[in-house]
Amino acid sequence: MEQTQMDTESRLPYDVIVVGAGAAGLMAAGTAARNGRRVLLLEKMDKSGRKVRISGKGRCNVTNARPPEEFAAQVRVNADFLTPAFAEFNNKATIRFFERRGVKLEIERGERVFPKSGKAWDIANALLDYCVENGVRILYNTRVTEILTVGSRVFGVRYMNKRGFTRKEECAQVIVCTGGVSYPGTGSTGDGYTFAADLGHTVVPVRPSLTPLVTSHPQAKFIGRLLLRNVRATLSIDGEPVREEFGELGFSERGIEGAVALRMSREAVDALIDGRSVKLTLDLKPALTPEILRERIRRERAEMGPEEFFAELLRRLVPKALVMPLAEELDIHSKSYMRKITDEQIERLIHVLKGWVFPITDYAPFEYAVVTAGGVSCDEVNPRTMESLKIKGLFFAGEVLDLDANTGGYNLQIAFSTGHLAGMQQQAAQPLL
């Protein structure tokens, strides 16, 4: 009987099936195939790496070159869970991986790593080539509908092919790399959460992370497409400062964004969900103390004629797009003559330049979120293998896990590290029963 089971197993065409051809899935599939495993990669969209191809505004921030302890500090939850995967395949390994495949990389400000070409497609294509060169079979327009199990063990998947027919493929190992629910147009629609929940896994409630923040401030709608550099922002929840960031911050029709706002969005989103009060305070002149700023304004006023408008003073202090909104915030007409501007009004100007408060009332939906917070509970996954602690032969990698980090290349590295570790664990087919 045992020999018959082994004979049956040996006739199975694949050792492992990978669900999802994103960053984690391509890395997992290629790694397993490189180790001699027969791999089938199933992707619901018409091409692989769709989210990778649009990441970093089309440039793809591949990873971050910070040392391990600094890298770990940027992981928002379950950083300890990531440690074994990162040790096995870290940011240096990622850089070597792509450069050995002909993708030249460069390190930019903040230790962010990008392809020198500035093209995210080079990264996505290198991952695809990794799979193809190692013999991975890839089926596109193929949507997995169920992970099949017998008892507490995987034995295959059920899927719908591009013609709409339901099919079944048996195997001993399945790696779920379906991503989260951010940028759903790329195919990330939460399928992996359904698979996990159906098999008894806990799914930590998902919400947008690294997403624009919506403000009720009446002047925000007049600021338009503005990017502010070298500003300091403080996030307060229920009146208490909880996070401070320095760098770029922008305004758009989606809300307040840019690296500073995105890094703060995780705490802001969670607080808003809990019904707490959230506000963002901007210091537009972080390099200047109030005293130095007051002296700066005094000098500017001395150079101006008494019949010049208040707007001219503002133009000397802030970008043009902020002149009218700032005048409205101060309740000073932009065409007020400088000779009529009082010392009290100047003090109010200094106060706003050093602490312009924007109430945060909402956040942009998943369509605009860089990553998904929440996901499959890391407490139910072995951090040294990425295998489920509930279902033997079931593995998770990438954004489907409750594992996310700040912007700056960290989230793609999480995908590469966990995908590589999951791919390394795959074994030649063993008896299913």
Closest CA to 228 of 281, 280, 284, 279: 284
Q: Quick one: pLDDT at residue 274? A: 97
Cα dihedral 228→105→210→284 (10° resolution): -20
pLDDT tens digits along 91-118: 999 999 999 999 999 999 999 999 999 9
With vertex at residue 273, the alpha carbon angle to CA 268 and CA 276, rounded to the nearest 5 degrees, is 70
**Residue 11 — pLDDT band, cuts 50, 70, 90?**
low
Q: Quick one: pLDDT at residue 429? A: 57
DSSP secondary-structure letter at 210?
Answer: S
**Residue 6 — pLDDT band, cuts 50, 70, 90?**
very low
Q: What is the mean pLDDT of residues 221-247?
A: 95
d(CA 429, CA 360): 53
d(CA 416, CA 51): 14
pLDDT tens digits along 392-429: 999 999 999 999 999 999 999 999 999 999 999 987 65
pLDDT at 2 over 80: no
Q: What is the mean pLDDT of residues 68-95?
A: 97
**Residue 8 — pLDDT band, cuts 50, 70, 90?**
very low
Better-scored residue on pLDDT, 5 or 251: 251
* Cα 288 versus chain centre, distance: 33
Give the number of other CB atoms < 10 A from CB of residue 418.
Answer: 34
In the three-class reduction of DSSP (H, G, I as helix; E, B as strand; rest coil), residue 238 is classed as coil
Among 10-19, 199-208, 315-324, 392-401, where is mean pLDDT lowest?
A: 10-19
DSSP secondary-structure letter at 215?
Answer: E
d(CA 310, CA 333): 8
Q: Quick one: pLDDT at residue 5? A: 38
Amino acid (1-letter code) at residue 82: L
pLDDT at 431 over 60: no
Closest CA to 271 of 217, 235, 218: 235
Give the number of other CB atoms < 10 A from CB of residue 148.
Answer: 15
Q: Quick one: pLDDT at residue 426? A: 82
Q: Are 334 and 324 in contact (CB under 8 A)?
A: yes
d(CA 265, CA 269): 6
Mean pLDDT of the chain: 94
- The top-level CATH class assigned to 2-208+372-424 is alpha beta
Half-sphere exposure of 186 (CA within 13 A, CB side): 25
Joined together, the tokens standing for residue 106 give: 């460069």
Closest CA to 262 of 357, 397, 401, 404: 404
Nearby residues of 100 by Cβ (< 8 Å), 6 or more positions away: none
pLDDT tens digits along 194-223: 999 999 999 999 999 999 999 999 999 899
Q: Are 186 and 45 in contact (CB under 8 A)?
A: yes
| Range(s) within the chain of domains with CATH label 3.50.50.60 | 2-208+372-424
pLDDT tens digits along 370-392: 999 999 999 999 999 999 999 99
DSSP secondary-structure letter at 270?
Answer: H
State the sign of the Cα–Cα–Cα–Cα dihedral 290, 293, 298, 304.
negative
Q: What is the mean pLDDT of residues 147-155?
A: 96
